[in-house]
Structure 1
Amino acid sequence: MSIERFGCYPDGSSDRYECSNRMRTRVSLAAAGALAYSLVASVPAYAFSYDRRTEAALRKLEPETRFNQVCDLAAMEKIRKNEPELKPDRMAIDALAEPERKGDTLSGTGAAVRAGGVWRRLAFTCSATPDRMTVTALRYTLGAPIPEQDWERYGLWR
């Protein structure tokens, strides 16, 4: 991946977030994303309890990365249940803006969810247990589609 993909350019300019923080977040979430991709199929629709294999994999993640992943999984499953026509297959919790963490709650207006090959904005609030293994509450609001010409700037893909 080139540094330009993270909004950091050779001329020293950057987008809204500091380059190193964005790169560090994306790199740690890339590994977690691979895990999430493999786990989504094993999680029943909008279930907040996981099978043993999924639980073991989640426990290996750092708590903050785990927090992102359980919220990602829960949001996709809740969207699948509430809006079955969308069939989301990817989620980027920090695509447009970093989420805010306050205690056991993660919230933001800069998430994105991909459904049917189209990325859409997503605002969410997700609460979890202190060990970050179980989502206790989740609210979301789907927003407008993100124009395809903006996908690269936000690190989104087909």
Structure 2
Amino acid sequence: MRKPLGFMFGFVLMVHAGAAAAGSLKRSLMKLEPEERAHQACVMKGLETVRREKRLAGADRLMPDTFKRAHFDGSVVSAKGAAVRAKSHWYALSFECKVSDDQTQALAFSYKIGDEIPPDEWDDIGLWK
């Protein structure tokens, strides 16, 4: 079974907790290496963005490295092997995300949703219900 990259995306759900939490979130992000900060910023922005699609309205997890490691070049995270979970279903996802110079904010997020990932493949690629 494949292990997720670095930090386990545990603080993603704090996104809408208000200004005080935003400062705390930024302090938490600054404790991470730049690449991991960028991944986290993109996960947060990605969830916020994909939830606008009807079938992904309940999205609660986004994994940038499910099928293939995401690439980070200092200002952009490109993921061609990501996955997003909504309503107990996982979907393939590819995205490109531009981040701020300090990697704490995603400035732009574009994506493409792929096919649903069959549940019988989840264990092999590190996904869960």
Give the TM-score taking structure 2 as reference length: 0.87
Separation in structure 1 between the aligned mates of residue 79 and residue 12 of structure 2, nearest angstrom = 23
Higher-strand-fraction structure: 2
Q: Map residues 34-73 of structure 1 onto 2, 5 A cutoff.
A: 36-40=9-13, 42-44=14-16, 51-73=22-44
1:83 aligns with 2:53: yes
Aligned match of 2:71 = 100
How many residue pairs get matched?
A: 125
Quick one: structure 1 residues 58 and 120, their matched pair in 2 at CA, closer, same or farther if it must change by over 3 Å? same
Quick one: structure 1 residues 39 and 103, their matched pair in 2 at CA, closer, same or farther if it must change by over 3 Å? closer
Q: Percent identity?
A: 31
Separation in structure 2 between the aligned mates of residue 94 and residue 136 of structure 1, nearest angstrom = 20
Residues 35, 74 of structure 2: 8 Å contact kept: no
Letter in 2 for 1:37: G
Once the two structures are superposed, residues 83-126 of structure 1 have per-residue CA deviations (whole angstroms, 9 ceiling, x without a partner) of 25521111110001111223311112200000000110001000
Separation in structure 1 between the aligned mates of residue 88 and residue 59 of structure 2, nearest angstrom = 9
What's the offset of the Cα at 1:134?
A: 1.3
Residues 95, 155 of structure 1: 8 Å contact kept: yes
Quick one: structure 1 residues 108 and 54, their matched pair in 2 at CA, closer, same or farther if it must change by over 3 Å? same
Unmatched 5+ stretches in structure 1 = 7-22, 45-49
The CA RMSD measured in Å over matched residues stands at 1.9
Aligned match of 2:84 = 113
SS for the counterpart of 1:65 is helix
Once the two structures are superposed, residues 56-96 of structure 1 have per-residue CA deviations (whole angstroms, 9 ceiling, x without a partner) of 1111111111111110111001112x225521111110001
Q: Which has the higher contact order (CA 8 A, sep 6+)?
A: 2
Aligned match of 2:102 = 131
Letter in 2 for 1:38: F
Residues 39, 54 of structure 1: 8 Å contact kept: no
Separation in structure 1 between the aligned mates of residue 93 and residue 81 of structure 2, nearest angstrom = 6
Separation in structure 1 between the aligned mates of residue 12 and residue 81 of structure 2, nearest angstrom = 23
Unmatched 5+ stretches in structure 2 = none
Separation in structure 2 between the aligned mates of residue 39 and residue 103 of structure 1, nearest angstrom = 21
